[in-house]
Structure formats: structure tokens, C-alpha cells
Amino acid sequence: MTLKKIVKGVLYLMGALLIVLLLATFILWIKSPGKPQPITDSYGVTIPQSISSIEKIILGGVAHSPIVEEAEKFKSIVLDITKKF
């Protein structure tokens, strides 16, 4: 084998690995529930003692990612349950 064929083979292998890596990153990004945004007041200042989180739970064998948000942590919490496929 010539050096040219070896370099060409290595480049093809690196390209294939790069495609697999990009595909895996894209799939993980799609399946991610995201990041919770901090709760802010009308001036954009984060409210102290506020709750903003995304929890992973399984209900009826189906994975869910409820978003938990509340400006005051001692008040009741409303769950927004979104199904991830």
C-alpha cells in the first residue's frame, strides 16, 4: 500500500467517527429536557428562595420530565408534565 492510500483511509475513518459523534450529540440534545430558567422579577433580578427545576420521573412506565417552578418555595407547586419520546 502506498502512503496516499493509508492517508485516504485514515481520513475516511476520521470522517466516519466525526459523523457518528455529531449524530450522538444531536440525539442527546433532542432527548434532553433542557435547563430550568431562574425565576426573575420585572427588572430581571432572580427572586431569592424561588424554585426552578426539571425532575425526571416515571409514571405508568413512561418517562416524564416535570418542570417545577414557584416564586416562593413554601407555596403550592404546579407541575407541567411533558412527555419525552
For residues 50 and 39, the answer to whether their CB atoms sit within 8 Å is yes
pLDDT at residue number 34: 75
pLDDT at residue number 18: 97
pLDDT of 85 above 60: no
Q: For the chain, what percentages of helix, strand and coil (3-state, to nearest 5) are there? A: 35, 25, 40
Lowest mean pLDDT among 25-29, 55-59, 73-77: 73-77
Separation of alpha carbons 48 and 44, rounded Å: 12
Mean pLDDT of 25-43: 83
Domain ranges of the chain: 1-32, 35-85
pLDDT at residue number 78: 59
pLDDT at residue number 76: 61
